[in-house]
Chains A and B, each alone.
Chain A
Amino acid sequence: MKPYRLWGLILLFMTASWLTAAGFSLSGVGTKGLSMGGAYRSVVSDWSSIFWNPAGLAAVEMNEISLTGTFISPLSSYVPHTQIPGYDGGYPMRYRVNAKSRLFVLPQIAYVMNADFLSSTKFGVALFTPFGLGASWDLYDPPIGFYERGYTPPKAFPEHDWESDISITCAYAGFARKFGPLSIGLSGGPLFGSISLRKVRLYDPVTVDTSLYSLPVQFRYFPIDTRFDGSGVSFGLNFGIKLEPLKNLTLGLSGRYYSPVKLTGDVNSAIYFPKNSVLESLADPEGKIFFQGGVLEADGDVSTELKLPMSLGGGISYAFGDLTLAFDAELTTWSVLDQIALDITGISFFGDSLPDDTLVMNWRNTWKYSFGIEYRGGERTVIRLGAYYDEGAVTDSTLTPLIPDINSKVSVNVGLSYLLTDRLTFDFNYEFVRASRKSVSNFVDVDSDGEPDNMPGEYSLSVDAAGIGLSFRF
């Protein structure tokens, strides 16, 4: 093994420990494919083939180490229209809430080998993040009057009370081989999933004592701060083919499969009671706890299975001299994510066993259409432009601020590759994504468990993302 190759492998494993992923349903991997809006299945010929279309590895001509950083800055906004008595004051009715500003950094690293000893078979390994989303909101505060003047609760309600952080990181190996005009490739390997969800639920004391119907509405809900953290390992598999039936015309077809991720972790809950001395004095002995301003906490273990969607896409590209036009279409089976069943063990606030829970997702399959242009502007520079239209997976019946993917999205992209030296290439891309505004009018209780599965309101989302990459060939 040449020293270069050894260095590449060492670097790969060293950096694996600081890879993080979060932020947004990711548009793709690498800078080049993103620059072309994802219209890349029939074009790809670098390390990112492992994600886009493993058959693209067959076009790699030299050993290559690539290091890429993607920087994602989403701007999610939500105007609550919850309209539930008791929420008013708790949720900032009629006012826009913006998710906490965050800059997500997604490092990616890859090593591709043009192995002489494998004949015309090319080999590569890569660490990348195909899925990731996250948002952190300061949405709920105990409503006006929840605590009487001068009272300080033993534990303050958390500032950021609606949060999500989901990431799937893949450590894939892939190979491809060319058979005349046809290239075939396969990649796969373990994937590491982590999920963190935090949300506010509102407990209605009427469920245990109907005489409390006459309670003033501001005391009709006791907020419960619930947080779930879990992680797990699974595996995924990508396959792809590239076909050049005519000179300058290339077709690409690829698919991605992910085995469900079995997640295990912890669930933590805390219920917050109002403080009102007058109501406390009027309540019977069992009911006094409802007005004493206390906090009860419960912890448990949780396990669940997170299903990930398959996707299947095809692309076509045609080269007019230095100019290449590409188009892709992709179907992603988000409908597999109908629910996340949480198997919970632990003790509840009131001493009994914590019940299992189900997060209703009810997502739908989506189509994504991408268009890209690549222009070779001289010996050193390649310029790329792209755009895509991507349908939203989340339905109105389950839309909450936890999931930034609110609606169909349009993206515009620009990027370039610049040959710094004969061996070193600098890559850059910028992406702007805007989702169609979404207005949800009514609460929906999909699973009829008495608790709404969505949050009515006005949703909006835009994302700025940029990436830089360095590739060293040898």
Chain B
Amino acid sequence: MRKLPLVFALSMFVLISCMKVEEVEGPVLSHGVLEEVEIASSDPMIGVKNAMVYLPPGYDSLDTTTTYPLVFLLHGYGWNYSFFQDIEDIADIADYMISAGEMRKCILVMPDGKNSLGGSFYTDSPFGNYDTYITEEVLSFMEENYPVDTTKIGVLGISMGGYGALKLTVSHPDIFRVGASHSGPIAFQVFLESDPITGINMMGAMLLENPVYDSTGNVVGYRIPYPPLLDQDHPLTTMMFAMAGAFSPVVKPLEEFDTLNYEFPMAQLPDGQWLGVILPIDTTAVPGDTVGLRQDVWEQWLANDVFTLIGQNYTVLDSLNTGLYIDCGGEDELFLQYHAMAVHDLLSSLGIDHYYEVFNQGPLYPPDRFPARHGTHLYLRLRESLRYISEHL
């Protein structure tokens, strides 16, 4: 009896000293596998391209019964198939999301959409039939080599890839059940509208990259020269040439190109003809001019415009309940937030359910320190789009 207090006290110390807790009550991470593969195209302009494939945690190549949804990740202009891994570390993001239950187990494929102009816009053209490459050849490769559930296919992309993701979804709703665009040029008419802040449109901005000087160094006009200056100092010109390569290409003899105006030969083909592009605007202007539009070429662009295609295919999209995701930074350097707004307004007017967000900095992120620019927040936005896609597959 006299030892009772001591025994009680010692018991308390043992109890207290044995109390242990997990330091971080987060998910236990499981890791998937990243593979680099080669996927051939029947189109000689594409040839054999590398692609990155992410296989989720628990994937077993010997398991013939389990199938996985497939998600295409389309990179942006100027990048290639390794973008999502090199810059965003998509494998670790997917590992985390799957481990945390934020996303179902999916196979991710990251094909290469880069052509000789820096970007294919995932469109069939003499510069490469990239629509066909993605929707037939890459898809067939994935079906043949991985246990893909072909009824559950989604696609997402950034910038050019954001355009590609929605265009492929709208054009092939029988293949893609859901598409997600981050900062994509998805409403081409906005290219012709003046930005309310700068007072110029994208076509005008492209011309501003190509000034003409007089002998005293004053700007007397603007003209896209031949050969065009396609480099880091002319980013809009470079991108517009890539878009023209996708939407208004031309193949004809060199002497038939109107190199003083809209037409630019880019490469000679084996048969002696020249492969070139036709720009949809007057490539010469003087200060104060409005940009001249070449309507017949512009119609070719609009035929590939996501905004236009939605207007044509919305009944199918609605009937298939196709998932559509659109986001863009509120301070996009290419003013693509207005594209997102235009498509959002269209989908809303058509009564098509979709996800839309033009994200800006909240009160915790002062805009002067964290401007939501083109692609800067993709690391965070991928979690939203992957979650959305996962829910729709």
Report which A residues bind B (CB closer than 8 A): 71, 73, 75, 83-85, 88-89, 92, 95-101, 103, 137-138, 144-145, 148-149, 204, 206, 213-218, 220, 276-279, 416, 418, 420, 426, 428, 430, 442-443, 464-466, 468
- Which residue of the partner chain, among A84, A277, A416, A464, contacts B5 with CB atoms under 8 Å? A416
> Can you name 10 extra interface pairs (CB under 8 A) apart from A214-B373, A216-B87, A217-B376?
A92-B24, A98-B22, A138-B24, A217-B370, A217-B377, A218-B379, A276-B87, A277-B86, A278-B86, A426-B6
Query: Is B86 a contact partner of A103 (Cβ separation < 8 A)?
Result: no
Contacts of A214 in B (CB 8 A): 333, 373-374, 376
Which residues on A sit within 8 Å (CB–CB) of B364?
Answer: 83-84, 442-443
Q: Which of A99, A149, A278 contacts B91 (CB 8 A)?
A: A149
B1-45 CB contact bits vs A (8 Å, 1 = yes)?
Answer: 010011011001100110111111111000000100000000000
Residue of B nearest to A467 (CB): B9
Chain B residue numbers with a CB within 8 Å of A85 are: 365, 370, 377, 379-380
B87 contacts A430, C-beta separation under 8 Å: no
Q: How many residues of B contact A (CB 8 A)?
A: 44
B88 nearest CB across to chain A (Å): 6
Residues of B within 8 A of A144 (CB): 89, 92-93, 96, 379
Asked if B126 CB lies within 8 Å of chain A CBs, one says: no
A97 pairs with B5, CB closer than 8 A: no
**A96 contact set on B, CB distance < 8 A:** 24-25
13 contacts between A and B (CB under 8 A): A73-B16, A85-B370, A85-B379, A145-B87, A145-B88, A145-B89, A145-B92, A148-B86, A149-B34, A149-B91, A213-B371, A213-B376, A428-B5
Q: 6 closest pairs, A vs B, by CB?
A: A145-B89, A95-B26, A144-B92, A96-B25, A73-B16, A98-B21
B19 close to A75 (CB less than 8 A)? yes
Q: Is the CB of A466 within 8 A of B12?
A: yes
Q: Known contacts A83-B364, A92-B24; is A430 also within 8 Å of B12 by CB?
A: yes
B89 cross-chain contacts in A, Cβ below 8 A: 144-145, 148-149, 218
B272 at the interface (CB under 8 A from A): no
Which of A99, A215, A464 makes the CB contact (< 8 A) with B16?
A464
B23–A100 contact, CB under 8 A? yes
A151 to B6, CA, bound (A): 55
Let me know if A95 and B24 touch, CB within 8 A: yes
Interface flag for B375 (CB, 8 Å): yes
CA distance A206 to B377 in the complex (A): 15
In the docked arrangement, what's the CA distance between A430 and B10, Å? 11
A-B pair count, CB < 8 Å, reads: 117
Query: Could you tell me the distance in whole angstroms from the C-beta of B376 to the nearest C-beta in chain A?
Result: 6
- The CA-CA distance from A279 to B371 in the complex, in Å, is 20
In the assembled complex, the Cα of A418 lies from the Cα of B16 at a distance in Å of 22
Instruction: Tell me the minimal C-beta distance from A346 to chain B in angstroms.
Output: 28
A468 partner, pick from B9, B16, B92, B373, beta carbons under 8 A:
B9
Contact yes or no, B13 A217, CB < 8 A: no
Does B199 make an interface contact (CB < 8 A)? Answer: no
CB distance from B361 to the nearest CB of A (A): 9
B79: nearest chain-A partner, CB-CB: A278
Q: Which residues of B contact A206 (CB under 8 A)?
A: 369
Let me know if B378 is at the binding interface, CB within 8 A: yes
Closest-CB distance, A7 to chain B (whole angstroms): 23
Q: State the CA gap A73–B86 with chains docked (Å).
A: 45
Quote the shortest CB–CB distance from A135 to chain B (angstroms): 11
Q: Output the nearest chain B residue to A465 by Cβ-Cβ distance.
A: B16
Identify the closest chain A residue to B361 (Cβ).
A85
Give A245 Cβ to nearest chain B Cβ, in Å. Answer: 35
B217 CB–A CB distance under 8 Å:
no
In the complex the two chains form, is A466's CB within 8 Å of B13's CB? yes
> Across the interface, which residues of A come within 8 angstroms of B2, CB to CB?
418, 420
- Report the bound CA distance from A177 to B323 in whole Å: 85
B380 & A97 in contact (Cβ 8 Å cutoff): no
The reply on B363 being an interface residue by CB < 8 A is: yes
Closest to A419 in B: B2
Q: Are A101 and B20 in contact (CB under 8 A)?
A: yes
- With both beta carbons as reference points, the residue of chain B lying nearest to A139 in the complex is identified as B24
Least Cβ–Cβ distance between A149 and chain B, in angstroms: 7
Cβ–Cβ contact A98 & B380, under 8 A:
no
Q: In the complex, A413 Cα to B34 Cα: how many Å?
A: 57
B16 and A103 within 8 A (CB): yes
Residues in B whose Cβ lies below 8 Å from that of A215: 376
Task: Kindly state the separation between the CA atoms of A85 and B85 in the bound complex, as whole angstroms.
Answer: 19
Q: Select from chain B the residue with minimum beta-carbon distance to A147.
A: B89
- CB of A287 to closest CB in B, whole Å: 15
